[in-house]
Amino acid sequence: METTKPFQRLIQIQAEKYGDKPALYDRNKLTDPWNSISWNRMNDMVNHLAKALLELGVKPQDRIGQYSQNKAENLLVDYATFSIRGVVVPIYPTSTQQQVDFITKDAAVEILFVDGQKQYEAALEVMKTSTHLKKIIVLEQQVKLADSTHSMYFEDLIEIGMKSKKDDEVEKRRAESVEEDMGCLLYTSGTTGNPKGVVLNFVMFNEAVRIHLIRLSQVNDSDTSLAFLPLTHVFERMWCYFLLQVGTTVYINHNPTEIQTTLKEVRPSLMCAVPRFWEKVYIGVKEVLSGYSPLKLAIVTWATAVGKKHNIDYLRKGKKPDFLLKFYYRLAEKMVFSKLKTTLGLENAKILPVAGAKLSDEITLFFRSIGVPVVYGYGLTESTATVTCFEDEYEIGTVGSIMPEVEVKIGKDNEILLRGKTITPGYYNNPEANKKAFTDDGWFCTGDAGTIRDNKIVLTERLKDLFKTSNGKYIAPQEIETRVSTDKFIEQVAVIGDERNYVTAIIAPSIPALEKYAKEHKIVYQDVDELLRLPEIKKLIEDRIAEHQQGMASYEMIKKITLIKIPFTIEAGELTNTLKIRRSVITQKYKNEIDAMYEA
């Protein structure tokens, strides 16, 4: 079995092993060809960057920020920073100037790498009032520099490193590094208040890699992975760190909106995603099936039933399918599953980790039945990502088995508590948050409620999201939102009901889907505003919601809805950078509409 390699020397070690084998693939635009970066070249660039950062005066544990879309340079900067005992501070490319200002000041960021013009201009404004930020490094040559004294291009920084004679000092820093060094300061995009800086040190990194090597032993250096989630997200960041330890080739997807095209080009064996990605794929598949003839639909229904029996009822439980079931499954694979997977770009998929929010059991069951290896899991920034994930004998309805040597117990109000080497020592510069986050005997309080069953975790609700109606009934809005958002007519939903006498919802519908429905049903309207006001459209959405809420308690049912034309956005503050609902912002913004739903 592979052993954990020191992060400070990882690229050097892998270059000696793999030489000119591609470590990364990257490109700036969808129309550009993929640019491969070999392990040798990656090692050279990491060393050049490490020396250049020393030339800029970076001291041990100084903070270096990254405010950028996914790029190969992000990982190069990470490992160069680790080489000289610096600390990486990732910032979401969608962060506002105010958020960047808070993070860079709270973390005392001295050097900030930025991507496009928008990020550069925001960084310049932040620098005007910062007592720490002294240099902005621009990754894109197309960006126009407005301040050449405090700004430079990435290529110029590399040139500084190439001319530098600080090789011995880089080696000295590597030798002096200790596991307790902070490697990353990752700010969580909370649904309320300012983000909190989670301290991630090398004890956590090394342990996270070690336990993933145990759990995911089938991942190897012949695999390819597509980095689709932002590298700022702990899930994608730790996944890439794990893959680089294994020697897996990573393709960097620059723009999230391009993922469907990129998937079909790369056809990876591995890829992380959040549940919303799979919800969209599932909705798309159902939409295609709705246009099938009765005969074709019957074939798909038969194939899915065979897949469920083969993959869920047999293989999942460690049982060996008989000859006839294996024959039927091969037939279903050839006639249906292989075509679908090839269309999606997933025919080579081996492990597809998914986490970050609640994934519908219906969706999990569907994809596992047709042979798409979705591996559901649970984790937090504070736990260096994975706490649990599916094993071979997984159980639908759970978020998988607890990772090796991660301690989990259930505390007050069924809260999930964590302890172990992958758990953060605390939040940076935030004693008040630390006091709330840890019990007296050192357990981290996740804020998630659940149960443990056969070493598997079942999530029940997010305690901070839980609200109580005026009738005294507790509502878990995320459970309702997860069910409803699988509908093709519904893009986003925010459930309302705290201290109200029934549940309502603000819904951003799929306008294209509604327009298509109106055309098919000969519904006449002048514009989108009128379309959303039509009683038949409102009834359509209400009926779809009722269908998805079947089996839920009557007090959990959405009684009234408000349809909005403009969906929730990060820029408007309605979503976090990880696309979680900011319920308080939505409640305030749509106060009049919400009050109107309760007037009667």
Mean pLDDT, residues 408-431 taken together: 97
Q: What is the pLDDT of residue 166?
A: 98
DSSP conformation letters of 71-110: -HHHHHHHHHHHHTT-EEEEE-TT--HHHHHHHHHHTTEE
CA distance 62 to 87: 6
Mean pLDDT, residues 238-247 taken together: 98
CA distance 216 to 389: 10
Q: What is the pLDDT of residue 454?
A: 95
What is the pairing mode between strands 474-475 and 467-468?
antiparallel
Q: What is the pLDDT of residue 450?
A: 95
Q: Which helix (H) or strand (E) holds 548?
A: helix 535-548
Which structure tokens are listed for 26?
A: 């990257």
In the chain, the domains with their CATH numbers are: 10-177+216-271 (3.40.50.12780), 275-420+435-462 (2.30.38.10), 467-598 (3.30.300.30)
Q: Distances from the Cα of 512 to the Cαs of 486, 488, 518, 546, in angstroms?
A: 16, 10, 10, 22
Q: What is the pLDDT of residue 113?
A: 98
Are 13 and 5 contacting, i.e. CB atoms less than 8 angstroms apart? yes
Say whether 554 sits in a helix, a strand or coil: helix
What is the pairing mode between strands 415-419 and 407-410?
antiparallel
CA distance 246 to 159: 30
Q: What percent of the chain has pLDDT over 90?
A: 88
Q: What is the pLDDT of residue 577?
A: 86
Residue type, 68: S
- Average pLDDT for the chain: 95
User: Would you say residue 1 has pLDDT above 60?
Assistant: no
Residue 463 confidence class, pLDDT cut points 50, 70, 90: confident
User: Would you say residue 2 has pLDDT above 80?
Assistant: no
pTM of the predicted model as reported, rounded to 2 decimal places: 0.91
Q: What is the pLDDT of residue 357?
A: 85
HEC sequence for 445-486: EEEEEEEEECCEEEEEEECCCCEECCCCCEECHHHHHHHHCC
Say whether 123 sits in a helix, a strand or coil: helix
Are 198 and 77 contacting, i.e. CB atoms less than 8 angstroms apart? no
Reported as a single tens digit per residue, the pLDDT across 358-388 is: 899 999 999 999 999 999 999 999 999 999 9
Interaxial angle between packed helices 323-332 and 294-307, expressed in degrees from 0 to 180 and rounded to the nearest 10: 130
Reported as a single tens digit per residue, the pLDDT across 434-446 is: 999 999 999 999 9
